[in-house]
Structure 1
Amino acid sequence: MIKKVLVVAAAVMSMSSMVQADGKGAYAAGGCGGCHGATGKSVVPIYPNLAGQHAAYIVKQLKDFQSGARKDPTMSAMAPLAKGKEQEIADWLAKQ
């Protein structure tokens, strides 16, 4: 399972330079929409909705997954894709 997530993460990362440089683009480039929905509104009950969350909360959670302070096999692999773009992703999601 982890290997599959890492392969997907690597593929998404390689495409990230082709995506527009804004919160929506960074969200898409990070592969977030695959689980959390294209606009942060998940259609799968096990994945939380991110749309409308406070930006500071989203930033903290992403950084906690990146540092290992918060652990989840999928998010620990995916959160590094948002490195340096946490605030712009969070600001975009907060407006959804």
Structure 2
Amino acid sequence: MSDMTWFTVLSTVGAVLAVAIGMMFPALAMGRAISQALDALARQPEAEKSIMRILFIGLAMIESLAIYVLVVVLVILFRNPLLEYLVH
């Protein structure tokens, strides 16, 4: 295989691993946040509005981390700065 083929394969595998690892931790954090919110709702049902508002803000912030990972991986994958050193 040519150098370009190896570079493409390794870039793709690296991008897949980065997305997998970068999405795993926010998913775990979301699960923990939802679990803790349900626990708080079970203890204090009268504080539902406050708990839900804080939960949704927290979930949006956690989800933004996953979106940042995806954006960075797509930028690296489609505009790879190392590609110019390989192609002359």
TM-score (norm 1): 0.28
Whose helix fraction is larger, Structure 1's or Structure 2's? 2
Q: What TM-score do the two structures reach when normalised by structure 2?
A: 0.29
Which structure has the larger Rg? 2
Whose RCO is larger (CA < 8 A, sep 6+)? 2
